Amino acid sequence: MYRFSRAIYRELCAEIVEDAPGQPYLNHERVLRACEAAVERLATDRHYFARPARTLFNDIRVYFPITAQGRVWRVVERYMTFADEFLSSQALSRFDIYGNPILCRASTRKGTQCQRTPLPQNGYCPSHQHLADTEDFHEREVDELAAA
């Protein structure tokens, strides 16, 4: 997954504003760490990471001049879309990016994670499909309130 975060950094590194004279690459390191964290969160927590490009842009925009903000947004949005598409194509496999088996998103009555293999369309196993239906209902309800 580092190929996406490193690609973002490589494309934007020339425009990063330099920090204090004693620490010339501190801002570069901060931008790289923010890119890596955003891509890793996208890979491990996709269902609860609604707008990864916007989050990453807000994290790193302070390290760029105002004149470069538009380009930074375009680069971040493009590469985060690539990463999301790549992860969507990998969702059909039974393992995550670290080689661990993918587990259901639901919790059991005891509070532990359900150990069953989820269906690819929503991340819930057949026993917990009803939770996916309530998520869809809640999203539609939020959209209707926003439209009003």
Q: Using one digit for the tens of pLDDT, what is the confidence trace for 53-62?
A: 999 999 999 9
Residue 92's pLDDT is what? 61
d(C-alpha 13, C-alpha 123), whole Å = 36
Average pLDDT, the chain: 83
- State pLDDT tens for residues 90-126: 666 666 666 777 778 888 888 888 888 777 677 788 8
Q: Is 17 helix (H, G, I), strand (E, B) or coil?
A: coil
Residue recorded with tokens 């088996």: 101
Residues forming beta bridges with residue 107, ordered by sequence position:
113
d(C-alpha 41, C-alpha 142), whole Å = 24
Given 3-state DSSP classes, what are the helix, strand and coil percentages for the chain, each rounded to the nearest 5?
Answer: 65, 5, 35
Residues 40-60 have a mean pLDDT of: 88
